[in-house]
Amino acid sequence: MRISDEEFEHEVERTIADLPQRFRDVLDNVGVAVADEPDERERATMESRCGELLGLYEGVPITRRFTGYSGVLPDVITIFKGPHERVCDTPEELRRQIRKTVLHEIGHYFGFDDDYLHAHGY
């Protein structure tokens, strides 16, 4: 399944725009990026049960930000286009997977671990 870079970015942006306002309001010091493929360092973060790295959160979850948290670089959520294209067969499946991946990585920002997110369908 192939999609243009613009369409992929639009789906990522739309997922964030569709978040309830109360969640968008607390997305602080975090950026969302799109990349074609994970690099070797990013792939090394994968758990053994994963076949493709669809997204990656790198930063300090808000549950670990205390009074001394200031002056740090922004957290980054990266969503990888190539792996999404390889695991999806239809445009609808691709849109659903992009949404699921973005929400999963935002879940890490809110302090949820992979086990919790997978148990709840993300």
56 compared with 45, residue with greater pLDDT: 56
Give the whole-angstrom CA distance, residue 101 versus residue 56. 9
8 A C-beta contact, residue 105 and residue 80: no
Residue 51, C-beta contacts closer than 8 angstroms, at least 6 positions apart: 87
pLDDT at 30 over 70: yes
Tokens, residue 122: 């993300």
- Average pLDDT score over the chain: 92
The DSSP element (H or E) to which 21 belongs, if any, is: helix 21-24
Q: Looking at residue 48, what is its pLDDT?
A: 46
**15: pLDDT confidence band, cut at 50, 70 and 90?**
very high
Domains contained in the chain, number? 1
pLDDT at 47 over 80: no
Tokens, residue 108: 């890490």
Residue listed under structure tokens 């671990």: 113
pLDDT at 110 over 90: yes
Whole-prediction pTM: 0.91
HSE-up of 71 (CA within 13 Å, CB side)? 2
Q: State the CATH number of the domain containing residue 54.
A: 3.30.2010.20
Q: What domain range is 43 assigned to? A: 5-119
